[in-house]
A = this chain, B = another copy of it.
Amino acid sequence: MVGIDDVARRAGVSTATVSRALSGRGHVASATRERVEEAAAELGYVVSASASSLATGRMRNIGVVVPFLNRWFYTSVLEGAQRRLMQYGYDLTLYNLSGSSNERSTVFEQFLLRQRVDAVIAVSLELSAEEVDSLHALGKPLVGVGGPIRGVPTVSIDDVGVTRLATEHLLSLGHTVIGHIGGDVDAEMSFHMPTNRRLGWEDALRDAGVEPRPELYFPAVFTMESGYVAAKQMLGDPRLRPTAVVVASDEMAIGVILAARDMGLDVPRDLSVVGIDDHELAPFFGLTTVAQFPEQQGERAVELLMRELEQTREAEPANLQLPFELVVRSSTARPRPEREPRG
């Protein structure tokens, strides 16, 4: 295994110079630097991560904690974070909490605290005060993505804004009886998000002079099937007869479209549906949606972290609100002139 002194010998300098030349820290004459780089390349030298870490106290590795893996949002965030981290020369070590419930404490106690990561990104997780504290006690920066964490910088979207935008789109088309299928507050790991999205729907309606009807809200759990079931209930109730529905995620929205189809309703003629996400399947189903950009969220989270890590100054816990935008496809249209939504 070729080490730093092999390189030093070959380049005719000291190991200190090799270290400085390769890391870019400290002054090295450019001629010397080239000679060192050449020697390193010829020998195929790469620094030992552990030795370097031991000496510097930095692992160049950050931990990303996600509640699930099998969901578009998380993998997208992961993808963005990974890409950006690689550019910074950092590794990403993955912690997935979806296993047994005690996996969570194992992750925290055994792994995150084990000095294997310089910082952690928590995706859509509501961390307890102790969890945050234990990380901070170790001097490990922490940023959240998705759910807000008290006292921790977070990148996210404006959750009330997205459903507000979706609802406004529907209102502008002339809809007034607009349902909402959203996350079940009890069932999710992050309870703010579903609540906020519901709020956006209500706010937009009120601003338009329409009083939101509680019976037009149906809870679901962010899966296609759950959206399907909720839609069947909503559309099957003759007292409701919504002409449009805003759905808190694209996966659920697709379930809604399928449900409508199965009930003989035409989308968008009989029912307009708009989702949130711009999931990869949205174009295929012609789903109008409010796009959020999870990859970008991952990237920004990394940037926040890097700023805290590379500079010495404490980062102000600035919560970054990322942009979102309406993508109109074929699942929304003006309501039918007749007030009867059924075929």
Contact = CB atoms under 8 A, between A and B. Distances in A.
Nearest to A113: B46
Given A51-B54, A103-B86, A284-B225, A46 B79 contact: no
Given A50-B54, A224-B281, A228-B284, A110 B89 contact: yes
A94 B78 contact: yes
Contacts of A46: 110, 113-115
A69 B61 contact: no
A75 B72 CA distance: 10
A98 interface: yes
B86 A78 contact: no
Interface residues of A, number: 47
Q: Which among A48, A49, A61 has the highest number of chain B CB atoms within 10 Å?
A: A49
A211 to B, nearest CB: 35
A314 interface: no
A76 interface: yes
Interface in A243-281: 255, 261, 280-281
Interface string A54-76: 10000101000000011010011
A82 interface: yes
A96 B86 CA distance: 10
A14 interface: no
A91 interface: yes
Contact of A86 (B59, B76, B111): B111
Interface in A75-94: 75-76, 78-79, 82-83, 86, 89, 91-94
A321 interface: no
A49 B114 contact: yes
A224 B284 contact: yes
A113 B51 CA distance: 15
A140 to B, nearest CB: 12
Interface in A103-128: 103, 106-107, 110-111, 113-116
A51 B114 CA distance: 12
B69 A115 contact: no
A303 to B, nearest CB: 17
A48 B50 CA distance: 10
Interface in A23-66: 46-51, 53-54, 59, 61
Contacts of A343: none
Contacts of A48: 54, 115
A91 to B, nearest CB: 5
B93 A111 contact: no
- Nearest first, the 10 A-B pairs at minimum CB distance are A50-B53, A50-B54, A69-B75, A49-B116, A93-B93, A225-B284, A50-B50, A94-B94, A91-B93, A69-B79
